[in-house]
Structure 1
Amino acid sequence: MNNQVKLIDADKLRIWLAKRMHHPRIYGDPFKCVLDAMLNGEFDPDTPPVPTIKPGDKVYHKRFKAQGKVKKISASGKRAYVVWFDGYVPSYVSLDSLEVVE
């Protein structure tokens, strides 16, 4: 038995419905149309982007203007544990707040 949660992208559903709401006779039973589209994967969420920051990368914190080195990425893939060169305490920070430094 597969207990994995199946999600849909609400924006894709909204756009799909908006395109069809002006022509109800063309598309037939609305419930069946939505169900068929769902089963065909038309509303499946896009695959999230793979983070480009990885352990060992030198990074720059955009807000605090500090540089450091990534030691590990959190299990969620949204945060990095960084050891800072500027004397700050090592910490987990959001990947969105970091840039890779060459």
Structure 2
Amino acid sequence: MKTIAWNEFENVEMRVGTIIEVNDFPEAKKPAYQLIIDFGTELGLKKSSAQLTKRYAPSDLLGKQIVAVVNFPKKQIGPFMSECLVLGSLGEDSDIVLLTSDMKVANGLRIG
């Protein structure tokens, strides 16, 4: 495992947001959803493509608070522009379990 300096970690902007829209993404190479996530007044709405279809139905995701990196460069995924990276743990079958807040908090709060 590579170690990083504390200031490198501080440069990663991880924020809490609420998923407000989930759409199928048939053009993705691997099964995925297109998500619209509300990060509050400071950051607003951001889009993300996430490979969550093995574990989550769209109805499971709506209203769920998640953790995402919001300061990576935008990434073009097929016809879709992803603006943040939703974080999760990777299971044995490459299924993703989302990182979430165990209590409802304000959208946009920084993880630190």
How high is the TM-score relative to the length of structure 1?
Answer: 0.31
Instruction: Between the two structures, name the one with larger relative contact order (CA 8 Å, sep ≥ 6).
Output: 2
Higher strand share: 2
Higher helix share: 1
How high is the TM-score relative to the length of structure 2?
Answer: 0.29
